[in-house]
Structures are given as C-alpha cells and as structure tokens.
Amino acid sequence: MRVLSTVRFTLLRLMRNYIVLLLLLAVPIALLTVFSVILSGMVDEAGRPYFDQTALTMVLAFQLFGGSTVMSYLNEDLFARNRERMTVAPFNRTLYAFSILLAGSAFSFLLGAAIMAYTRLVLGLVWANWGWTLYLIALMAVLSSIVCVIFVCGVKSFSTAERLSEVYGVGFVLLAGLFFPMPQHAVFEFMGSYGNPLTLSVGAVRAVEIGNWNEAWFQANIVLAAIGFLFPVMLVMGRRRLR
Amino acid sequence: MTLASMQSVLKRYGSCAALDYIDLEIHEGEIVGLLGPNGAGKTTLIQALTGILPVDQGRISLFGDSRNPFSDANKQKLGLVTQEIAVFEELTAKEGLEFFAGIYGLRREEKKKRVAEALEFVGLSAYANKVPHKFSGGMKRRLNIACALTHRPRLLIMDEPTVGIDPQSRNHILESVQKLREQGTTILYTTHCMEEVQEIASRVVILDQGQVVKEGTVQQLIETVRHEETIIFDVADPLGIPLRQVESIAGVSQVSVSGSRITVISAAGAGNLDRILSVVQQHSGVLGIQADKPNLEDVFLTLTGKQLRDREGSR
Ligand SMILES: Nc1ncnc2c1ncn2[C@@H]1O[C@H](COP(=O)(O)OP(=O)(O)OP(=O)(O)O)[C@@H](O)[C@H]1O
Ligand SMILES: [Mg+2]
C-alpha cells in the first residue's frame, strides 16, 4: 500500500521536529527535574510523596498537547503547502491522514513514556503500575490527536485551529485546578472532574495505586468513550474537508 | 495523440472569470509554452487541468478520458511542478523524493534508482543528504521540479519553474526540460518569460485575462506582427529632423525621439526604410541604423497591449 511507504517519513519528520521535542520532551523533563528538588521530602496526608503526583499529572498534562504535530502536518500536507502535490498524486489521502494521526499519536505516546523513564531512571521515582499508566498516556495521546484533527478540519483558518488546540490543552490544565482552585460552580466542578480527560486519567492511575480497579476502569473508560464519540465526528469533519 | 484537453472551461472567482471559456489541447511530444502576464490565469488553468480546482463549466479530458479524467491511473501519468515551492523542510532531498516516489507506487530498487536519477537530472546529487532548509532559492526550485519526476510522467506540467532564480539555474532547468522532451515527455510549460518560450516551446499559447488570445508556433505568432518593423536611427542632430514629414511617409505609424535616437515604427518591406532614411539624411548626419525584427515580446504587446515582463506594480 502506497500510504505505508510514507509512515517512515512521517516519523522522520516528527523526530526532526526540534520545537516539538523541546516543548513536549525537554520542557517537561526540565520542569520535573526542578520539581523533584523543590518537592523532595514533602508528602501528602496519605504519606505519598508530592512529587509522585506532580510527575503523574505532568506526564499526562503534556499529552493534551500531543495532537499539535498531527494538526500541523495535516494542514501542511493536505490543506496548505503540499496540498496541490498531494491532490494530483494517485494515493488515498484519507488513509494518509490516518497514518499521520497514528504516527503523531504514537510519537506523543513515546515522548510520554520517555518522560516516565527519565523520572524512574534519573529522578528515582517509583511508578506503581507502568502498564496502566502507559495505557492512559496512550488514551490521552489519541484523544488529543482526534480533537486536533477535528479542529483543523472543522475551521477554515489554521491559526484559529491552533488557538483552539491550545485552548483545549491549557483549558483542561486550568480546569483540573492544578494551579489555582476553580470557582464553586456545577459546570466548573464537572469540568474539573468527570468532564476533564486530564483529571480522569490522573484519577484512573491514582485509583490503581490504592487498588481500586473499579474506579480506575470507570474513569479510563470515560476517556475511551470520549474517543469513541469523537472519532465519528472526526470522520465526518474530515470527509467534508477533504472534498 | 491528444494527452490533455479543455473545452469551454469556465472558472469564476466571484464576478471575475479567471478562466473565460478556455479551449486547449496538448498533443503528445509537444512542449507547449503557456505564456501570460501576472494574473492571466495560468495557475488557475493548471489547477483546473489537474483536478485540483473544480471548474464551473466545461469539459476536461486527460489521456483521452473525459468521464473520469482524474482517476488514479491518469494521475499516475501526470507530473506537476507547482508554482509555490513545496518541499519537506525536515526531510533531506533524497528522502523527500523517496516520499513522492513511494506515493506513486515505486518500490525498493526502482525507487532508489529513480530518485538518484531525478537528483542527477536537476543537478542536486551532491546535496542528496542535505535538508532543503539551507538550500538556495534556485536549489529549492530544482528540488521542487525533481519531486514531479521520479515516476516519469507522460505529461509534465510546470508552473513557472524558473521564477526567482539565477541565470545559471535557469539554463540548467531549460536544458533539462528539453532533455525530458527528447526522452518522450510531453510538457506544458508556464512562464511569463519570452526568451524561455522562444527557446524551448514547440507551440505557444498566449493567455490574458482568462482567455486564449493567440496560439501557434513561435514562427507563426511572429508572422502575425511581421508587417511591422521598428527602425532606430542614431542621429547627430535629432532636433533638426522634421518629425511630421517622417510621419507622413506612407506606412509609418509612429515616430518618437529620445535623446539622439529616433524610433520609427513602420510597415515592413516595400522600400520604406529607403524613403525614411532619405528624409532623415536630408536633415542630419546618421550615425547608426538598427532595424528590429519582431519577436514574441512584440506579439504579446500587440495582442494584449501589455508588457509581458515582470515590472514593479504590474500586478
Ligand atoms: N483563490 C482565489 N480567489 C479569488 N481570486 C483568485 C484566486 N486565485 C486566483 N484568483 C484570481 O484569478 C486570476 C488568475 O490568477 P492566476 O493565479 O491563475 O494567475 P497567473 O497567471 O498564474 O499569475 P502569476 O503569473 O502571478 O502566477 C487573478 O486575477 C487572481 O486574482
Ligand atoms: Mg501563477
């Protein structure tokens, strides 16, 4: 299949995209290193190190931005600079868009895993359940990519789509109440709990830490359901935009 | 054989017709020079012909197929060099070409070979493993051309492939185009540069304001303005020349003076030059005479009333 031959190059492009590597790998690693010093020795009421939670939240929060590369490659290849060349080529552009979606998500996932590995190997953090955490990283990566595809296909202007994706990322970080408490209001409470993929995925990992698998699956499945719901939306948007 | 054709193709942008009922045919083995000033509709024509842009009206046929001209089988035989440079900044020249070779279905050994050939062809072999980020404008242009070559298209469409590059690169590109034609590729070559068309095109189509204003071989087009000749006299005493008297000579349509130069536009042949010269000589010493043969530039000027060349503010 012709699209398969492009995957290698999409991955190469991702790996040489130094700005993305800086933002999604170097920045979180730098922040975590700083936090590990600041928070060393501090524990919460339950006696768990503060840094553990910070690291978990940070790893998952950066996945909210993982779709940005998918978005910019789709735009560049199908709607902007390379559009004409791709349009006259005898290959399936829808499949190509999918390959970018998959490659971008996988890349974001790998960066998340790399950050985890760094915290383990360099900062000595012990992750309770690697597999489960990676599963949630994967869900977050896919969700972010799908959301970004919806943005880039849904709005005409790419810079608007970019802003929307930033709102998605920053918005959920803020709503999760990580930096300052949100006002007491039903909407904010919902968006800070079961309506927030970041809160949900953090919650799912922490539920496993205390052995509550029911709650863990429940929260993870809400994220999965969001993917299931947004996937067809993405297909419709994509079809509309690609012809 | 006709490889591509357009019949009464109309494309409007708002109230402006970018393509105003265009008829065009491209035959196997030709280099068709599509000539027109900025905004004439050249790019729009190419976009319509390649299926990038849906048209409002008319019929387009590629490789004899007008029912489904943009099928994958037809796309496979088509190559497009875009006007805007479109290369992957993060991929090396070689990788970028491999990407395109791949989506045209080339595999392994053949892909490697064709990519190397394409790089060689545009003179970038030495830069195969460099990313275009640091390439000069001309090198990017050449890479942009190579992207359309790896699959060896039967019909190659080039949209201003030489814009904004130095004469050396330009010559290289022109030679390459001729080489491609010798290898059997049919080419639609878009430009607003006369010399290029005169040099390589076997047939010229002049486009202005979305319409084909003239087409034919370079020779045929020049014939159409052959009845006029521009004669330039270098004279010692330009003020002494009675311009009225020169103007009244039968066949003379225009006389102008600039510095020591008198420019006369007149019907060609029929001893006109003699008559004009004798009048001029009566009133001043003549230091030099130069009679300009008409060229495509004049054809264009006559047909559209416009200068073809890129000048500031010509857009
Ligand atoms: N997307 C568009 N929307 C509105 N008008 C357009 C659009 N694209 C082209 N036009 C108009 O159509 C006309 C033809 O444009 P086109 O780009 O085909 O010209 P061109 O001959 O390729 O010019 P150039 O030499 O500058 O490349 C122009 O008047 C241009 O303003
Ligand atoms: Mg153009």
The per-residue pLDDT for range B174-201, each reduced to its tens digit, is 998 999 999 999 999 998 888 888 889 9
Examine the pLDDT at B58 and tell me if it is beyond 90: yes
> Mean pLDDT score of chain B, rounded to an integer?
88
Predicted pLDDT of residue A232: 97
pLDDT bin (cut points 50, 70, 90) of residue B313 is very low
How many whole angstroms from B41 Cα to the centroid of ligand 2?
7
* pLDDT, mean of residues A144-153: 96
In whole angstroms, what is the distance from residue B120 CA to residue B118 CA? 5
Select from A17, A83, A84 the Cβ nearest to the Cβ of B90. Answer: A17
CATH 3.30.70.100: which residues of chain B? Answer: 227-293
Examine the pLDDT at A191 and tell me if it is beyond 80: no
Cα–Cα distance list, A78 to A48, A70, B47, B156, B180 (Å): 48, 12, 15, 21, 29
**Strand ranges in chain A using DSSP code E only, listed in sequence order:** none
pLDDT bin (cut points 50, 70, 90) of residue B307 is low
**Second-level CATH architecture of B227-293:** 2-Layer Sandwich (3.30)
Lowest mean pLDDT among A30-34, A222-226, B219-223: B219-223
Examine the pLDDT at B88 and tell me if it is beyond 80: yes
Predicted pLDDT of residue B314: 34
Residue B200, min C-alpha distance to chain A (Å): 25
Residue A1: its chain B contacts at CB < 8 A?
Answer: none
Residue B145: its chain A contacts at CB < 8 A?
Answer: none
DSSP lists the bridge partners of residue B60 as B6
Ligand 2 is an ion; residues with CB less than 5 A from it: B 42-43, 83
pLDDT bin (cut points 50, 70, 90) of residue B315 is very low
In whole angstroms, what is the distance from residue B107 CA to residue A22 CA? 35
Select from B90, B95, B147 the Cβ nearest to the Cβ of A85. Answer: B147
pLDDT bin (cut points 50, 70, 90) of residue B308 is low
Q: What percent of chain B has pLDDT over 70?
A: 93
Among B99, B160, B190, the strongest candidate for a mutation testing the A interface, having the largest count of A CBs within 10 A, is B99
Examine the pLDDT at A218 and tell me if it is beyond 90: yes
Interchain contact, B103 vs A12, CB within 8 Å: no
Residue of B nearest to A93 (CA): B103
How many whole angstroms from B39 Cα to the centroid of ligand 1?
5
* pLDDT, mean of residues A152-170: 94
Residue A87: its chain B contacts at CB < 8 A?
Answer: 50-52
Predicted pLDDT of residue B192: 82
Q: Nearest CA to A144 among A212, A220, A68, A228?
A: A68
- CATH 3.40.50.300 correct for B2-222: yes
Predicted pLDDT of residue B270: 57
Examine the pLDDT at B298 and tell me if it is beyond 80: no
- Could you tell me if B109 lies within 8 Å of chain A, comparing CB atoms? no
Examine the pLDDT at A35 and tell me if it is beyond 80: yes
Q: Are A69 and A20 in contact (CB under 8 A)?
A: yes
Examine the pLDDT at B289 and tell me if it is beyond 90: no
B45 Cα nearest atom in ligand 1: 18
Examine the pLDDT at B282 and tell me if it is beyond 90: no
Residue B173, min C-alpha distance to chain A (Å): 20
How many whole angstroms from B212 Cα to the centroid of ligand 2?
15
Predicted pLDDT of residue A128: 86
Q: Nearest CA to B156 among B43, B215, B77?
A: B77
Among B83, B92, B98, B103, the strongest candidate for a mutation testing the A interface, having the largest count of A CBs within 10 A, is B103
Q: Which residue has the tokens 């892909």?
A: B111
Interchain contact, B84 vs A81, CB within 8 Å: yes
Sequence-distant (6+) residues with CB within 8 A of B262 are: B232, B233, B235, B238, B241, B246, B255, B256, B280
pLDDT bin (cut points 50, 70, 90) of residue B311 is very low
* pLDDT, mean of residues A143-163: 95
Select from B52, B88, B103 the Cβ nearest to the Cβ of A91. Answer: B103
Predicted pLDDT of residue A184: 74
Predicted pLDDT of residue B238: 85
- Could you tell me if B273 lies within 8 Å of chain A, comparing CB atoms? no
Examine the pLDDT at B81 and tell me if it is beyond 60: yes
Examine the pLDDT at A45 and tell me if it is beyond 70: yes
Q: Are B123 and B139 in contact (CB under 8 A)?
A: no
Q: Which residue has the tokens 């010798």?
A: B182
Q: What is the DSSP string of B147-215?
A: TTTTT--SEEEEESTTTT--HHHHHHHHHHHHHHHHTT-EEEEEES-HHHHHHH-SEEEEEETTEEEEE
Pocket test for ligand 1, best of B12, B24, B42 (most atoms within 8 A of CB): B42
Model pTM score: 0.84
Predicted pLDDT of residue B231: 83
Per-residue pLDDT of A50-92, as tens digits, reads 888 889 999 999 999 999 999 999 999 999 999 999 999 999 9
Lowest mean pLDDT among A221-230, A233-242, B152-161, B240-249: B240-249
* pLDDT, mean of residues A100-119: 95
Sequence-distant (6+) residues with CB within 8 A of B48 are: B6, B9, B11, B19, B22, B55, B60
Interchain contact, B90 vs A6, CB within 8 Å: no
Examine the pLDDT at B72 and tell me if it is beyond 90: yes
Predicted pLDDT of residue B312: 33
Ligand 1 shell residues, CB under 6 Å = B 13, 16, 18, 36, 38-44, 83, 192
Predicted pLDDT of residue A41: 81
Greater confidence (A66 vs B311) lies with: A66
Residue B51: its chain A contacts at CB < 8 A?
Answer: 87-88
Per-residue pLDDT of B262-281, as tens digits, reads 888 887 665 777 888 888 88
Select from B52, B88, B95 the Cβ nearest to the Cβ of A84. Answer: B52
CATH 3.40.50.300: which residues of chain B? Answer: 2-222
Greater confidence (A93 vs A189) lies with: A93
